[in-house]
Structure 1
Amino acid sequence: MVHEPFTLVEHDLLKISEWEKEDKNLIAGFTTRLGGVGEKPYYALNVGLHVADDDRIVIKNRQIVATELGIPLEQWVVGEQIHGANITKVTSDDCGKGGRTLESAIKGIDGLYTKEQDILLVSLYADCVPLYFYSSKHHMIGLAHAGWKGTVSQIGPKMIESWTTNEGINASDILVTIGPAICQKEYEVDTNVIKAVDDVLPSIEERPYQPSRPGHYLLDLKKLNKQLLINAGVPKENIQISQYCTASNTELFFSHRKESGKTGRMMSFIGLKGY
């Protein structure tokens, strides 16, 4: 039986239960599309400010989540998310960036990490892969937004490198959860994407994709991210993968691929409440 790291709580939030049980001050999870105030095509809990929804509705939805989590928007930190692999360390000086406006998000950033308390790291999704990083020994947390471009640019390994090089944390002390995202059977890509995948996995025999039709392949982005993280030194037993597929379950999730690009966004979140 495959282990699912996320548990649905409070009717609209998924939580990484094992991590939260290990550290009562840790909060980590993923929103669904349930429980908000939005209207089609963004119904209901759209928390993305960049999808042409009414900003006032989006902020109402973010406030709903903030109340459920007990962390106000003034303590949220959001990156701009340009499908790149740039990472930044967050401090209390960054609190509020991207919380209420798109313009205030940290520019050019798809990865965030911190060890400071009372900061909620936030990233937005509608099929891309959310990566969660946690070291209980060092009280360090992080998030990375990994679409196919960010994945082949190795945003996951770059987060590991940031922690090992800049923070003195061994890769063996880092836990990673790969969150809800589009699954292999729903994610068809062309040869240009596959070439980029092969370039970052030159020696592995088991490819994270299979042919679907001439010039096209079904790509398992979650599996690709796991292999890249293992290559970066994270023990495979430290990595857990959600079985939730955003494109196969549009009752629970927004899906850019399944909903023809006009849809809302969920958010990944991780934070350490004050001890």
Structure 2
Amino acid sequence: MKTKVYVNNEKFFAGMTLKDDTKLEDNNMALHSCSNVENILENRKRLAHFLNCSLENFVCANQTHSANFHRVTLDDKGRGSNLSNTAIPNTDALYTYEPNLLLCSFTADCVPVTFYNKVNGLVGVIHSGWQGTVKEITSKVFDHLIKKEQCNPNDFHVQIGAALGQEKFEVDEDVFLKFKDLGYADDFINYNDQTNKYHIDNQLTVKMQCELAGIPAGQITIDPTCTYLSPDGFSYREDKSSGRHLSFIMRKGN
């Protein structure tokens, strides 16, 4: 299974599937962007086998570039796993305390964030495209977890997965101004006076959001892979009919 494993220890399993031209639809994992649903289900079943769980353990959301998040319970088990219309609606971040539920996030250039709390066992995923970043979805999720779920920010470990790199994330002034208005992203923006375009590092902006929430910088890891430049990457910017990576995290249970 062509997968980048970020964490695999006695308590947590987290990673990201990769593009693989030897598999059905290049190992696309998204039901909402595919040629044949059965191909995607076959890919997901192979992933489930690799992770030693079943497809029924997957929990997926219908991502809308929102700043909405959802606490996953056992009642959500299997939502969106084999049908798009059962996914959790209008949601771009999931978290849970429950073991053996595979939280899923789908990306093709957007920033995927997986995280776990080493003390209380909470795990989560965040989908942060540029729209989610300027809506500060990551900040809002961690603010909620710290204030409402009583999590200690020092207990989190965060993985920022492969995404569109700064070189290829080229935007006009309207998007630049949204990032500038955040007040903390200036260091992650370059201007190209040849093209009159701005280049933004979305991953570093998301990392800063984690740090501002109180998570120690040393507990945040960034995958430097650019989904546009890497042959292992799905890139919507390169191909509007692109497939999707699946970023996942699960707390292992007995």
| TM-score, reference length from structure 2 | 0.95
Q: Unpaired runs of 5+ in structure 1?
A: 1-9
Aligned to 1:15: 5
Equivalent residue for 1:31, pick from 6, 17, 21? 17
Counterpart for residue 239 of structure 1: 220
Deviations 1:150-170 (A, max 9, x none): 011111111111211221111
**1:1-275 matched pairs, under 5 angstroms:** 10=1, 12-16=2-6, 19-21=7-9, 24-34=10-20, 37-38=23-24, 43-200=25-182, 202=183, 204=184, 206-213=186-193, 215-249=196-230, 251-259=231-239, 261-275=240-254
CA distance in 1, matches of 2:173, 2:185: 18
Q: Secondary structure at the match of 1:207?
A: helix
**2:201 & 2:115 partners in 1: Cα distance?**
20
- Counterpart residue type for residue 209 of structure 1: I
Q: CA deviation at 1:230?
A: 1.3
**Hey, which bits of structure 1, 4+ residues long, moved more than 6 A?**
none
Task: Measure, in 2, the Cα distance between the counterparts of 1:199 and 1:237.
Answer: 26
Alpha carbon RMSD of aligned pairs, Å? 1.5
What SS does the aligned partner of 1:186 have?
coil
Counterpart CA distance in 2 for 1:53 and 1:162 is 38
The separation in 2 between residues aligned to 1:244 and 1:58, in whole angstroms, is 24
Q: Deviations over 1:202-257 (max 9, x none)?
A: 2x4852110124542011000111112212221212211111111111x2121111
For residues 59 and 133 of structure 1, what CA distance do their matches in structure 2 show?
25
Contact 2:61 2:87 in 1 (8 A): yes
Contact 1:75 1:96 (8 Å CA) reproduced: yes
Q: Could you tell me whether the CA contact under 8 Å between 1:36 and 1:61 is conserved in 2?
A: no
Counting matched residue pairs gives 253
Query: Structure 1 pair 84/238, CA: closer, same or farther in 2 (3 Å)?
Result: same
Once the two structures are superposed, residues 125-146 of structure 1 have per-residue CA deviations (whole angstroms, 9 ceiling, x without a partner) of: 1110001111111111100000
Over the matched positions of the two proteins, sequence identity in percent amounts to 32
How far did 1:20 drift? 2.1
In the alignment, is the contact (CA less than 8 A) between 1:80 and 1:110 conserved in 2? yes
CA-to-aligned-CA distance 1:42-72 (integer Å, 9 cap, x gap):
x320111111421111111111111111121
The separation in 1 between residues aligned to 2:51 and 2:8, in whole angstroms, is 13
**Counterpart-to-counterpart distance in 1, 2:185 and 2:143:** 25
Give the deviation of 1:273 after TM superposition: 2.1
Gaps in structure 2 of 5+ consecutive residues: none
Superposition TM-score, scaled by structure 1 size: 0.88
Q: Is the contact made by 2:28 and 2:34 (CA closer than 8 Å) also made in structure 1?
A: no
1:34 shift after superposition = 1.7
Residues 205 and 273 from structure 1, CA distance in 2 versus in 1: closer, same or farther, beyond 3 angstroms? closer
Give SS of 2:159's match: strand
